[in-house]
Structure 1
Amino acid sequence: MAKGFMIAGTHSGSGKTTLALGIMGAFSEMGQVAAFKVGPDYIDTAYHRFVTKTPSYNLDIFMQGEEKLRELYIKKSKGRFVSVVEGVMGLFDGLDDTGHASSAHVAKVLGIPVVLVVDASGMARSISAMVKGYKEFDEGLNVKGVILNKVNSESHYLLLKRCLMQDLKLPALGYLPYDEELSLPERHLGLLPVWEMRNLEGKFQKLFEKIKKYIDLEQLLAMVSCDENFVYPWDNISSRGVDRVKIGVAMDEAFNFYYQQSLETLECLGAELVFFSPLKDPFLPEGISGLIIGGGFPEVFAEKLSSNKEMMKSVREAFEAGMPIYAECGGLMYLGRSIIDGAGKSFPMVGVFELDSVMTDGLKRFGYAEATVVDETVLAPAGAVVKGHEFHYSEVVNAKEKTSYIVKKRSKRTYRCGFTKKNCLGTFLHLDFYANPELGRHFLEKCRRFKEGILR
C-alpha cells in the first residue's frame, strides 16, 4: 500500500482544500497520487481529479462503515506513489459531540498520520497553544506535522516554526503566503464546480510552484509510513458471469454529482455506463436499458435544459416505455414539471413527475439521513433501510406523486420523499452504491428485465 497521510484543518476555512490540491498536484509530478475526501462531497473530489488526473474517492463512515471505508482506501492506494486524504470541516468535527465520522475518526480507522493546516495570520507563540490542543486532545491520533497558511513573511514563518519545535517538538513542514489569486470562487453548495471554471491550469500551476517553493515535500514524504499487511478482498461486490447491461448516466455541467466508487460498483455489478449530456445531446444514448440522473446544478442551467426539448422528449419516451430511471436531487428537479429560480421565473422540465422545484435562500434538510422503503422501488424492496445525505437549496411544491421513502434525520425528524411513478424513482437523498451494493444489484436486475421485455 502507498504511503499515506491526511491533510486536516483546525476549522472550515483554514485553507486545507487549497493546500490539499497543491500538494496532490505537486506529488503528481513525482508519481501517481491516490486522492480521497472525507465525507459526502462531490465538488472537492472533482478538483482532486483535475490536479491528479486520476479519480478521487469519498471516505464516509456514516454510509460505508469503518470496514468498507478502510477497504476502499487500501484498494485504491495500492501501487500509488502516495495517498493524500483531504479532511472535512475541523479535525474533530463530526456527526455529534463524540466526533463520530470526523476527520480524526477516519484517520484513526485508516491508521494514517495527520498534517494539520493552521491559519496563522496574526499569530506568534499562540500558535503553540492552539496546536497543542489539537495534538493532545485525542491520544489515539497521530498529528505528525503542521503546515501554516496565510503567513505574512518568511521571518514570520521562522518564528512560528521555532515556537512549534521548542514548545511541542512538532515540525512545521512549510507555509503558504496569502495570495488572493490562489483562492477558488464559491457559491451555494461550496466551491464553484470545476466543470464551470476557466483557466484552471494556470491557476493551479502557480499553486504547485508555490507548494514546491514553500513546503518541504521530501520531509513530508519521509514522515509518512505505509503498512503492507493490510489485505482486503474486492470481489464481494462483483457479479461474474452476469450479462452486462447498458445504463445511461447524465454527465455535464448541470449533472455531475456522482461518487466515483459508486459508479465503479455499478460496473463491477455488470453495468456498462454510457455518459450523455442533457444540456447538449438531442437524444438518450442508443441501446440503454436504464437511466441515472445524478445531482448537480440544474437550476443554474435551467434555461438551457428547458430549451433542449428533443432530449426531454427522449427522456419522457424512455419513462413511458417502462425504462428503470433513478434520479437524485438535481435529477429529481429535472424530471419534474418545472424549476422556479430565485427570481420567480419558471422553466419547464421533463414532466415525468407532477411537481415543481423552487429555489430558496438556504439549505433544506441538510445532512445525513436514513430512509425506510415503504413501497418497492427500482432500487430496493419494501422494508429496506438505506443511508444517504441531502444537500440542496431547492424544495418540492405542488407534488401529486406517491412517495416510497420515510426519511429520518439524526434529529429524529421524519418526512416523506422518494417519489415513484412506473419504474422511475426521484429523491433528494444521495446514495452510495459502494456502501450498499444490493441497491445496485436491484437496479441492474430491473434494467435486465426491461432489456428482455419483461418489465414495462
Structure 2
Amino acid sequence: LNQAGSTRHYEICRKAIEKYASTPVIGYLLRNKDLVIPERHLGLKTTSEGGELETFIQNLATRIESTIDIDRILEIARNAPPLPEKPLPCLFPETPACPVTRIAVAKDEAFSFYYQANLDMLSDWGAELCYFSPVHDTCLPPDIGGIYIGGGFPEIMAAELSANQPMKDTLTKAAADGMPIYAECGGLMYLSEAIEDFDSTKYLMLGLLPGISVMQKKLHRLGYTRAAVQNDNILSAKGTELRGHIFHWSKLPSPQTKPAYTLLEPAEFVGQNEGFIVGGSTNVLASYLHLHFGTNPDLAKNFIRISKDFCTI
C-alpha cells in the first residue's frame, strides 16, 4: 500500500483488504513529502542525468526493504499459475537477424526519449544502431542508410544545437540526398526552422520543416494516442492505424499539406492533422507522436527496408 499515514493506518487497511478482498497485502510505503521523483518542465528527469535520481532510487530501495516483504512477493510470483495463452504478434524474430543496414540514432543531452522496444526491434530485425550526438559530433556515423532522432530536451540545448553548424549541414545534406530520416517530438523541433525558448530567444535549427517550434508557458498536449496514417511515408502506408503517446510543451503549426497522420484519440485531439512528410523523395517523417513499434512490428521492418534500399541506390 502506498502513502500510508502510519503503521496503524496500514494495519487497518491491510486487515480490511485481506478480509473482504481475500488478497494478501505484503507491505507498505509511508507518506513522505521528501520521497518525490525529480522532475522538470517536461516531466521526469532521465536516468542519463544521474545524481538526484540515483539518490532518490537508493532512498526508495531502503524504504522498500524495511516495510515490504520482498521474499513474499517472490514466493507469490513463483507459485502463480501460468498465464492463459493468447496469440500475440511476433515482435521479435526467434533469432536476431544479421545486420543488413546501419541506422544512426541521436542520443545525448538533447535527445534521449526513446521507447527501448523500438531500438530493440530495429536491432533484432536487422539494423545496426550507430549512436551519435547532434550536440557534440560534427558528422554522422559512416555507411548509414537511415537516421532516427527521438525526443528529449532540444530547447535546453538549443544554443549548442544551433551553433553546431557542421552537424546541421551534414543532416541537411542527408535529407537532400534522399536518406530516410524519422524524427519524433524533440527531433521534430530540431528539424524545424528554429526553436524559440521560454525566454523568447530564437535559435536556428535545420529548416527542413516549415515554422518555428515555440515553447509554451504550460503543457500543450498530453495523452496516449491512436492515429490513422493519412499519406504513405517511410514507416507506414496510408490507412494504417498506429499507437503511441504525445507529450510536449512546444507548439509548431500543423502541416497544411500532406500531413502524416490524423489523430483518433484522445477525444480532445480527434481530427487533428499531425506530422510532416517532406523531402524530394518524401524521405523525411517528423511528428510530435512518439510511436511504439511494438503495436505494429512493420514500423521497424519498413524503416530497415527503406534504409537498406537507400544504401543500394
Residue of structure 1 in register with 2:162 after alignment: 306
1:328 aligns with 2:184: yes
Residue of structure 2 in register with 1:340 after alignment: 196
Instruction: State the one-letter code of the partner of 1:285.
Output: P
Instruction: Tell me, in whole angstroms, the C-alpha distance in 2 between the residues paired with 1:279 and 1:263.
Output: 21
| Cα pair distance change 1:234/1:382, threshold 3 Å | closer
1:98-153 Cα deviation digits (max 9, x unpaired): xxxxxxxxxxxxxxxxxxxxxxxxxxxxxxxxxxxxxxxxxxxxxxxxx242433x
User: Which of the two has greater strand per residue?
Assistant: 1
Residue of structure 1 in register with 2:60 after alignment: 207
Instruction: Tell me, in whole angstroms, the C-alpha distance in 2 between the residues paired with 1:240 and 1:161.
Output: 46
Residue of structure 1 in register with 2:307 after alignment: 447
| Cα pair distance change 1:181/1:282, threshold 3 Å | farther
Instruction: Tell me, in whole angstroms, the C-alpha distance in 2 between the residues paired with 1:415 and 1:201.
Output: 39
SS in 1 for 2:122: helix
Residue of structure 2 in register with 1:433 after alignment: 293
1:267-308 Cα deviation digits (max 9, x unpaired): 222111111221222221112110001112212222222222
1:49-105 Cα deviation digits (max 9, x unpaired): xxxxxxxxxxxxxxxxxxxxxxxxxxxxxxxxxxxxxxxxxxxxxxxxxxxxxxxxx
Residue of structure 1 in register with 2:238 after alignment: 382
Instruction: Tell me, in whole angstroms, the C-alpha distance in 2 between the residues paired with 1:241 and 1:389.
Output: 28
Instruction: State the one-letter code of the partner of 1:437.
Output: P
Residue of structure 2 in register with 1:420 after alignment: 277
1:225-252 Cα deviation digits (max 9, x unpaired): 2528759788665398776100011112
1:170-189 Cα deviation digits (max 9, x unpaired): 54422223444432222334
Task: Tell me by how many angstroms 1:163 deviates.
Answer: 5.0
Residue of structure 2 in register with 1:370 after alignment: 226
- Report percent identity of matched pairs: 36
Q: How many residues align?
A: 306
SS in 1 for 2:66: helix
2:45 corresponds, among 192, 195, 198, to 192
Task: Tell me by how many angstroms 1:399 deviates.
Answer: 6.1
Q: Tell whether the 8 Å contact from 2:213 to 2:250 is kept in structure 1 after alignment.
A: yes
| Cα pair distance change 1:163/1:285, threshold 3 Å | same
| Cα pair distance change 1:351/1:203, threshold 3 Å | same
Tell me the C-alpha RMSD between the 2 structures: 2.9
Q: How does 1:12-51 map to 2 (within 5 A)?
A: none
Instruction: State the one-letter code of the partner of 1:151.
Output: G
1:155-213 Cα deviation digits (max 9, x unpaired): 55445445555665554422223444432222334322222341544442232222111
Instruction: Tell me, in whole angstroms, the C-alpha distance in 1 between the residues paired with 2:10 and 2:262.
Output: 53
2:5 corresponds, among 141, 151, 155, to 151
- Unaligned 5+ segments in structure 2 are none
Instruction: State the one-letter code of the partner of 1:418.
Output: G
- Unaligned 5+ segments in structure 1 are 1-146
Instruction: Tell me, in whole angstroms, the C-alpha distance in 2 between the residues paired with 1:214 and 1:184.
Output: 19
SS in 2 for 1:304: helix
2:82 corresponds, among 194, 210, 227, to 227
More displaced 10-residue stretch of structure 1: 286-295 or 405-414: 405-414
1:349 aligns with 2:209: no
SS in 1 for 2:118: helix
Residue of structure 2 in register with 1:288 after alignment: 144
Q: How does 1:212-291 map to 2 (within 5 A)?
A: 212-224=65-77, 225-227=80-82, 230=85, 237-238=92-93, 244-291=100-147
Instruction: Tell me, in whole angstroms, the C-alpha distance in 1 between the residues paired with 2:72 and 2:97.
Output: 48
TM-score by length of 1: 0.60
TM-score by length of 2: 0.85
SS in 2 for 1:319: helix
Residue of structure 2 in register with 1:318 after alignment: 174
